[in-house]
Amino acid sequence: MRVIAGTAKRLQLKTVEGMDTRPTTDRIKETLFNMISNYIADCNFLDLFSGSGAIGIEALSRGAAHAVFVEQNKKAMNCIRENLKFTKLADRAELYETDVINALSRMEGKHKFDYIFMDPPYNQLLEKKVLEYLSSSNLLAEDVVIIVEASLETDFSYVDELGFEIIKEKKYKTNKHIFLEKN
C-alpha cells in the first residue's frame, strides 16, 4: 500500500498485520480521491476507524490542512504514528486512540470537518451509530461530505431520517462508497 499522489507520493505505508483491519486497496483509494481531489486542498479531514491511516494520510499528502485519525486498536494506532512520521505529515495530524463515539464527543467545539471518511467493520451497523451522532453534532462544516466505506449489502435507507442525503454511490467488486451531505 502506498500514497498515490501529493507530497508523499509513492511512499510505501505500513499496514497492521492480521485480520483486524481491511486496508483500502490502492485502486479503490485512487478512485475515491479522483472523485474528491478538487476539494481536498486546505480542508479539515476526519478519518474514522483509521486502520493504517492511509486515507487520512492521502488527504494530507494532497493538501488537506489538517487530519484527525480515530482508531481504538493499539497496533493500528502505532502503525498510523509510524506512517505519519515516515511521510513527514505528522505536524498536520491529530490522533485519538479511543472508540469513535468517545472521540467525536471529545472533539465537539474544537473542530469543524469538511470531509469525514469512515471505514467501520462491516455489517455491524457502526456507520449508523456514527451518522446518528453526527446528525446533531457541531463537527460538520457547512458543506461537509461524509464518505462511508461499507459492504455491498449495507442498507442506507435511514439516512433521510437523520437529515442526510446520498449524493453519490460508487460500487466496487466487494464494497462501496456512499457520499452523504447534510440536508
Please list the residues that pair with 109 across neighbouring strands. none
**9 within domain boundaries:** no
**161 within domain boundaries:** yes
CA atoms of 5 and 124, how far apart (whole Å): 32
Q: Structural domain of residue 165, as residue ranges?
A: 26-182
**11 within domain boundaries:** no
Q: How far is CA 121 from the centre of its chain?
A: 13
CATH number of residue 138's parent domain: 3.40.50.150
CA atoms of 138 and 149, how far apart (whole Å): 23
pLDDT in tens, the chain (183 residues): 767 777 777 677 888 776 555 667 778 888 899 899 888 999 999 999 999 999 999 999 999 999 999 999 999 999 999 999 999 999 999 999 999 999 999 999 999 999 999 999 999 999 999 999 999 999 999 999 999 999 999 999 999 999 999 999 999 999 999 999 999
**98 within domain boundaries:** yes
DSSP structure string for 59-127: HHHTT-SEEEEE---HHHHHHHHHHHHHHT-GGGEEEE-S-HHHHHHHHTTT--EEEEEE-PPTTSSHH
What is the tally of structural domains in the chain?
1
**106 within domain boundaries:** yes
Report field, pTM of the whole predicted structure over 0.85 = yes
